[in-house]
Amino acid sequence: MAWSDPDEALVAEVARGEAGAVRALVARKLPRLTALAQRMLGDAQEAEDVAQEAFVRAWRQAPKWKPGQAKFDTWLHRVAMNLCYDRLRRRRETPYAEPPEQLDEGPGPDRGLQAADTGKRVARALQDLPERQREAIVLCHYQDLGNIEAAAVMGVTVEALESLLGRARRALRAGLADLAEP
């Protein structure tokens, strides 16, 4: 498959150990990786940890990177997504002696800001989706990946991705139906 990879030259510079290239790659990719992890995990600190680990793996991989097999951005998204899944899996497997402390969900001083409340509701509804549906929504609607690239990141066909997107959109629509009412 022939395509141009906008990160190819930068990854080659990183492989040669050029510090400026490392800074440029981080500046280019960090905001999107952190946002991806934040939406998948719902935790800012964990999202930063995931992004950092993804970059560590990118530095290790850079000298072995073979252009033309996949876009670097697609590979980096897949690494971050796998790290998110590892953390989500650990959450399910961690037994607690006591229930975790619950955040106070009561009205806060900014409760009157309808946009903030709506954003929180959408974030919760996103977290309630099954992992694969959430992944599809995050990649396509938040990370702005096209269906072909998102399907490659997820390791599914475009048709399977579109099916996941359809189910996820229906679930979000149903869960947030009251927001659409006047």
More confident residue, 93 or 7: 7
Are 58 and 14 within 8 A, CB to CB?
Answer: yes
Residue 177 pLDDT: 84
pTM equals 0.59
145 against 3, higher pLDDT: 145
Joined together, the tokens standing for residue 2 give: 């022939």
Q: pLDDT tens for residues 44-65?
A: 999 999 999 998 888 887 777 7
Answer yes or no: is pLDDT of 88 > 50. yes
> pLDDT tens digits, residue range 146-166?
899 899 989 999 999 999 999
Q: Is the pLDDT of residue 111 over 50?
A: no
